[in-house]
Structure formats: structure tokens, C-alpha cells
Chains A and B, each alone.
Chain A
Amino acid sequence: MKWRLYVLFLCVIIIKSVTFSPSCRAVPIKNEDLQSMINTKETGEDVKEIRIRKDEFDEIVGQLQGMKALMEKMKEDYESRFQELQEKIATLEREKTDNIFISQSDAKITNPLSDQGTSIPQNNKTTEMVSPPSNKAETVQQTEAPGTSSAPIFPDTSMASQATNSVSGQWSPAQPLTLWSSGKNYMNISFDGLFAAGGSTAKDLEDIETGGHDPAQRGFTVQNLETVFEGAIDPYFKGQSNIVFQIDKGGESVVEVEEAYLTSMSLPMNLQVKAGTFFTEFGRLNQTHPHTWDFADQPLVNGRFLGPDGLRNPGARISWLAPTDNYTELFFTMQDSQGETAYSFRNQHALFGRNHVDTDVRNLGDMLYVPRVATSFDLTDEQTIVLGSSAAFGPNSTGTDENTLIYGLDMFWKWKSKYASGGFPFVTWQTEVMRRRFEAGAVTDNLPAEVMHNWGSYSQVSWGFKQRWVAALRGDYVDGEEGATDPSGFERWRLSPNLTFYPSEFSKIRLQYNYDDILGNNSTEHSVFLQFEFLLGSHGAHKF
């Protein structure tokens, strides 16, 4: 029975490979080879042939005739494809006169065709199995027919497909510049512009907003102009860099290198290394860029513990993917502990009214360490949850031996309809709780050495209720810091509803209201933001 299947397989394959073969001039020669191969085999096969009963043989002949009809139909089909291709060639030929570079375009495109070519010998091998000689001859003739008749087309066809596929890679004055369309380049480039117009009862928005990319004044704020470069570095690493431009309140343009790092693709033992300068993998929000946020500003607790610009510094991270059925990953990050982007650590602006003590890194203990574990599982077919737990510890700048420890729990839950269209409808719920233990050093005159405990949390729900529309609500709470003199240290809670409209994946308009209850000085502030964003170029996909 098996060889009968081989006959079927062969017939289909031969038709396909011949029609796709880039070098059909070689086909007649191959057929000769084929026949000689068959001839040599026949003597051996004869013995088997005798065993076949006549009715069985008739059945085979019937089947082969059916196949013949089928192949003829396929032949027609492929011929219509040839015509299409020829038309393409004609149009491309015209283009070629304008553009001489086509012939030099990537050899990559010829792969499909040459791959087809390499599959031919394999098919010939299966021909050996074909036993009834009469049918054999038939199939050979058939395959020859389309092959020879269309032989002159093929060299051009390969060229044509080369040209059609490299349209985005070539340039002609009439075309828009598509130099950076992804897939044909070594890296993807994208540019993201994030702006906000804001109004508030607070005189100075910067007093009540804790994030460096939050709306900073009444009127307009350029929150984030982010250029992203990303791509494969080589077979071993992927690289990414996020360069951020901002225009500050004084009208000065500021450049920030937010991230620049490489990630290993396939280390053994389920390990992965990330190195460079990058957002610390602490919690959920800290790892992400402002344009992916569901709100126009960052949660109070992130601003207060991890800093206005988020926790990030030069360093390295190793992670291990547990070989379990559920996703569980362990992360361990080591980074520099100084600078404004290590806000609760060796920051030049010492917290809690302490004086900044200039310290050096004396040993490994003076670095910033951030372990994290994250796990995820599906609650139902439509619901997924990700849980995480992180800690960050390192020295702070209020003394020579003072340390800070921040630990946090995070949770992300998402429901998405299994009939989602364009990704809608969905509901997400994200919550983070953080606690900080801060050893504040003594200041000789007035302040003793003490340990400060603070905590804060935010919880937000987003509801994509209709394609392109998302409604969201966030609640924020932070407790009061000792000795606080302004809202940046007072106990406060905040409620922020918003509504976002996404004209497409590449733009958004968001209206947000903040009800800000600053318990520390018994005041309530109201703010309204209108945020808008655009995204140019090919931007890498985001994590879940």
C-alpha cells in the first residue's frame, strides 16, 4: 500500500517542483537521469510487481487516471499563476528601466525558489518507488510538458519576485522614503511623541505630580519624545536603545539616554543576560515607558520610591526561566547605586532633609541589587494573571553606612474576549504595593539617625469597552513622610478616571481628571489633562 501513496505524493510534488523550479532548462536532463534510474531499478521491482492482483492493479490504474485529471486541473491553475507572474514581470520590466539597482537586490528572495530546487532530488528518490512502467512514463511526460513550455519564463520570474519583494528596499524618486520599514533592515527605528495639555487648581503642577514625564505646568507639556532603535545584533544578542528628548519648563531641550542594552537570545540552561543601562525589573510599571501607560501621569508611589524618572542605571541582569509548565521566571539585577535615577539610594539629593554624604563604591555591598520573581497562569481560556514580587536594596546617600530596602508585590490580570476584534473588548486590572525601609543618617545639629518606614500603592482598572475606546480608573495612596513640608512628602490619596480614544494603534487621545486629596495640608487639588500621542516607524511589540 505504501508505494501507492508514494505515487500520489510524487505526482503532486513533481508538478509543484517543476512549476516552481528556477532552472527549468535543466529539467529534460533530469528526466533522463530519472529514466535511467528507473530502468536500473525495474529489474528489482519486477519481482514485487508479480504479486499484485489484477483487480488491485485496475484500481491503481483508475486512481492514477483520477490523479491525472487532478493534475491537469492543477496545471491549469499554475498556468494562470504563470500569467499573473508574467504580468508582474511586464510591469516590473518597465520599472527596471528607471531603476538599475533591482538586479542587485537581496539574494534572500531567491531562497524560496532555490529551496524548491533542492527538493527535486528528494522527489527523484521517491520516483524509484513507482512500479507500473506505463504510468511512470505518463507522469514523466506530463511533468515535462509544463516544464519545457514555460522554461523561458523562469529566469525572469525569479528576478520578478526578487523585485516585487524588495520594493521596500529600493529607492526611486517617486517613492516615499521607506528606508526603515522593518524586516529588510538591520534595525527598527521608531519615534514616539507624547504631549499633554493640562489645567489644575494647583499653581504649580510639578508640586503635585511626582513623575518626570508627567504634565509639569498649566498649559502644554512635552512629556516624552522617544526614539527607539532595536534589532538583532548578531545571532546571539538583541539590542535596544531608547533616547528621550524633553523640553523643560524653561524651553530648553534635554536629552536623556533612558535605556541602551543587549539581551542574550539563547544561553544554555534557560538563562538570559541583559546588560547595559536599563529600567530595573522591579514591579510592573517601572520597566515600561510612559507611552505604554494607561494614565497621563505615573502613580504617586512610583515617583516617591523609585524616582521621578523611574529606577534605572547601568548594570546587568541575569534571569532564569523555570522549566515548569507554568511561566515562572527569576530575575537578579545588579546596577550602580548612585545618581538621580537611583532616587532612594545614592542620590545627590538626600531624602528626609538629610545632607548628602559623598560616598564611593568600596565593595560589592555598595551596589544596587534587585531580585524579582514573576509567575503567570491562565485562570480560564480568556483570563490570565501575572504575579510578581520584587526587592531592591543598596546604600543611600544620607550617611556612609545607611541602606535602603524597597520591596513590592505586583499583580496584573487581564480578561480578553475570545471573539476579540482589534484586541477589544478587554478588561485589565493592575495593582502594585511597595514598602520602603530607609535608614536616614544623623545630621550633627538637629536630626538623629532613624529608620523611616513608608508604604504606598496604586490600583488601576482599564476597560476596552468598544473597539478603539478605553475607560480607566486608578486609585493611588501614599503615606506621609516624617518631616515633610510639601505634597511630595505628605500623606495623600488620588483618584483618576480617564477615557482614551485610539484612532489607530499608532495614535491616541486621552482625557484624564485627577482628584487629589493631600491630607498632609488638608487641601484638595483638581487637575485635568488632555494627552495625545503619535508613533512613527516600526516599534517593537510590547510584553504582556
Chain B
Amino acid sequence: MKIKYHICLYLLFALSWTSVAHAKLNIVASTPDLGDIVREIGKDKVEVTSIAKPTEDPHFVDAKPGFIVKLNKADMLIEGGLQLEIGWLPPLVLSARNQKILPGNPGYFVVTSMGINILEVPTEVSRALGDVHPFGNPHFMLDPLNGGIVATHICNRLCEIDAADCTYYKDNLNNFIKRLDLKLSEWQKMLEPFRGTKTVTYHKTFPYFAQRFNLDVVGTLEPKPGIPPSPTHLNTLIPMMKKEGVKLILIEQFRERKIPEFVASQTGAKIVVVPIMVGGLKETTDYIALFDYIVKQIVIALETKS
């Protein structure tokens, strides 16, 4: 009898331990960009964890067991979708054993499921073409307008989960959208003189950015997505860049620099190295600062040339 009583006590203790009401909403975002947007809207009412490091290649993130604990306690999981997270998020979610963040519940949100105009959706799927994302390019957060759309949807979801603070979230959203929109026109004005600048990127990371700010991406250093630059590819790329008059090589901060530098020396194009996620550099503390930095770097590089 006594043992049973003890077991009951223990179970009760375990239960209460897991169901302690948190004052803040625990939110896990797959990337720091999404995490930052949540922070903008939830401010001090949310505790945000981002899984991918801002500095690393978001296609290859380690599914570290520590994140299982975060997901286990999460009220909401936000992922980008388009299979960016396919290599690391599913095993974490399976181990997390948390009903709230499973598909079909308000606590699970794939941001590309609504409102985003997805680019580069392939009509043919074959790995002979490299590591192509079958549902389109997942780097949509590099268009600030998409950031606004994502923020709106995240706000709606937060309202669904935490109706009591809905007006608070909406105020923050309005504030964020307002700042973002003003900034967007500022960035567009800054880059207007360089409209149509012929650009080469390392990976297909920047189509959304290029579309928003009217850069013309004519090629990539990678012969195919996920395949590092090969001599054969560079032998065709360099003459093409010379012919097209490519002025800008835009690469993510985690890429090796040797090949881009070689290509730049051959073609006279300027290399601009930028973080692609919030927190990649100490200057890019939030989503708006990220674009401030990227736009500024591009402007500096293109201005010094002419």
C-alpha cells in the first residue's frame, strides 16, 4: 500500500512539474529570422529559441538533443517549410512528444503555407539537377515584404494561442510593419541607382532579395545547387560574367572565399559577403538591421567601383 501511495505521489509530482503554467509563451523557430519576427511581435510575452545558428548554412543544421527539450516545452513551433528543415527538424519533433507542435494544431506553423509568393518552383524534380528543393526556393525571408507577411501570420497564430494578449501582439505587429515599410522604401531608394546590376551569387540564396531590389542574378558559382564550384563550371562562368558585365558577386558569410576571390580577380566584379540571417554579425541584431547591413554593403561596393 505504502509503495503505491509513493508512486502516486511521484506521478503527481511529475505531472505538476511538466504542467507548470508558464507566464511566457515558449516558441521555437527553425531559423533566427523567424525567431526575430516572433520576438518583434511577442516582445516580452514570448521566450524564443532558434534552432539554426545565424552564421551557418541553414541546409545543414545539427539536430542536437538539447533542442528536443526546447521543443518538448514549446507552445509553438514555427518553421519555414519548402524542405529547408527536412534534414534536421523531423527527428527532433518526433522525440519531443509534444502534442501542441504537431501538424494540425495552432502551435505548428509553416510560414510558407500562406501568403508567400514562392520562387523557383521546379517543374521537374531530379537529383541529377543537384539539391533542388522540390517545392521552391526556401530563402524567402530575404525579401522584406515577405518578412511583413510572415509577421502578420505569426501575429494571427499568437492571437489564436494566446487570445488575452491579442491586442498587444497586434500593436507590436503594426509597429513592426510600419517600421519595415518605411525602411523598405529607404532601401529601395538606396539601391535604385544600381537597378539591374548584373550579379553572380554562390548558391541560389538571393532570388527573393534580387527580385525585391531589382538586381539581375545571371549565374551562380555552384554549377548546381549544393555542388561546390568546379573548374569546368568556372571556365564557362568567367567568360560569361565578362561578357555580361557582372559587377557584383554576392556570397553568404559561411562560404569559402578562395574561389569567389579568384573569380572576382578574373572578372573585376566586387565581392560582397553578407550574413543571411539575423544575428550573423553583431551589426545584424534584428530583421531590419540585417537588411540595413546587406543594402549598405552592396551600395558601398558598387559605389567605390564607379
Whether, in the assembled complex, B296 has its beta carbon less than 8 Å from a beta carbon of chain A, the answer is no
Minimal beta-carbon separation of B116 from chain A (angstroms): 8
Contact of A384 among B62, B102, B121 (CB under 8 A): B62
The answer to whether B69 and A325 touch across the interface, beta carbons within 8 angstroms, is: yes
Among B1-28, those with CB < 8 Å from A are 11, 14-15, 17-18
Taking the complex as formed, is B91 at the interface, i.e. its CB lies under 8 A from any CB of chain A?
A: yes
How many Å from the CB of B115 to the closest CB on chain A? 6
Q: Provide the bound-state CA to CA distance between A358 and B264, in Å.
A: 74
Which single member of B113, B148, B173, B256 contacts A467 (CB below 8 Å)?
B256
> Is B242 located at the chain interface by the 8 A CB criterion?
no
Verify B59–A70 contact, CB threshold 8 A. no
B123 is an interface residue with CB less than 8 A from chain A: yes
B: interface residue count bin: 35 or more
Instruction: Provide a sorted-by-A list of 29 A–B residue pairs whose CB atoms are within 8 angstroms.
Output: A5-B171, A5-B175, A12-B177, A13-B152, A16-B152, A73-B185, A77-B145, A81-B117, A165-B135, A176-B126, A178-B134, A182-B83, A265-B102, A269-B15, A269-B18, A321-B96, A321-B97, A323-B14, A323-B18, A323-B73, A381-B53, A384-B66, A421-B255, A538-B86, A541-B86, A541-B87, A544-B63, A544-B64, A544-B65
A262 to B281, CA, bound (A): 43
Binary flags per residue of B158-202, CB closer than 8 Å to A gives 1, else 0:
000000000100110111011001100100000000000000000
Chain B residue at minimum C-beta to C-beta distance from A386: B65
User: Measured between C-beta atoms, what is the minimum distance from B130 to chain A in Å?
Assistant: 8
Q: A73 to chain B: which residues have CB within 8 Å?
A: 185
- Is B244 an interface residue when CB atoms closer than 8 A count as contact? no
Contact present for A6 and B102 (CB under 8 Å): no
- State which of A46-54, A108-116, A250-258 sits at the interface with chain B: A108-116
Is B18 in contact with A504, judged by CB distance below 8 angstroms?
A: no
User: Lowest 4 CB-CB distances: which A-B pairs, in order?
Assistant: A423-B60, A112-B114, A327-B65, A376-B65
Q: Which residues of A line the B interface, CB within 8 A?
A: 2, 5-6, 8-9, 12-13, 16, 20, 70, 73-74, 77, 81, 84, 111-113, 115-116, 119, 122, 126, 164-165, 167-168, 175-176, 178, 181-183, 235, 238, 263-267, 269-272, 321, 323-327, 329, 374, 376-378, 381, 384, 386, 414, 416-423, 467-468, 504-506, 538, 540-544
In the complex, the answer to whether B91 meets A266 with C-beta atoms within 8 Å is no
B69 x A326 contact (CB < 8 A) = yes
A-side binding surface: helix, strand, loop or mixed? mixed
Contacts of A13 in B (CB 8 A): 152
The answer to whether A267 touches B66, judged by C-beta atoms less than 8 angstroms apart, is no
Judge if B127 is at the interface, Cβ distance under 8 Å: yes
Residues of chain B having any CB pair with chain A under 8 Å: 11, 14-15, 17-18, 53, 55-57, 59-60, 62-66, 68-69, 72-73, 83, 86-91, 94-99, 102, 104, 113-115, 117, 121-127, 130-131, 134-135, 145, 148-149, 152, 156, 167, 170-171, 173-175, 177-178, 181-182, 185, 226-228, 252-256
